[in-house]
Structure 1
Amino acid sequence: MDITYIIRLTKREYQVLNMIRNGICRDDVCRKLYISRRTLENHISNVYYKLEVPKGDGLYAMAKFINLEEAGLIIVGRKPKSEYIW
């Protein structure tokens, strides 16, 4: 049986991740969403934590491969069996 791992993001985290996925630079994300750079960094940090992605370029790489569903839901795919809690 194939189990998917579902992660819930806030609407703003979803918007930020989607913009990063589309290659929009951080300054432009701030301008388009009317948020400060510090607020953007907080959203990015939350996404790193929720997606369990190492800091650095990992978020952009991961964002290219994940399936962005409706706002707030992201289906990332399978997690290793050792990480499931039964």
Structure 2
Amino acid sequence: MTNSFLSELISDLDDFTIRVRLCTMWDAIKSKKNGELISIDMIFIDEKGNLMHGIIRKNQVNRFKDKLSEGYRFIIKNFKIVENIEGY
């Protein structure tokens, strides 16, 4: 299994394997809808110091939330990279 660095990831492909540390994660909520969960957002860092923002959509939260902890290293595979098309 070959791990890719975050700087090597290409949009619209989903066959990568990365080894990263979960720096931080937080619940993204809709403040106008009584705190309804949108997603869990995360920041990952790889061995070269590259950062990546990751999202777990609300329909997948129950599947992954208990498996994630800040500060731990993870090997993640079979995920999709998409470019941010919206501004902040």
Normalising by the residue count of structure 1, what TM-score does the alignment of the two structures yield?
0.32
Normalising by the residue count of structure 2, what TM-score does the alignment of the two structures yield?
0.32
Structure number with higher strand proportion: 2
Structure number with higher helix proportion: 1
RCO (CA 8 Å, sep 6+): is it higher in 1 or 2?
1
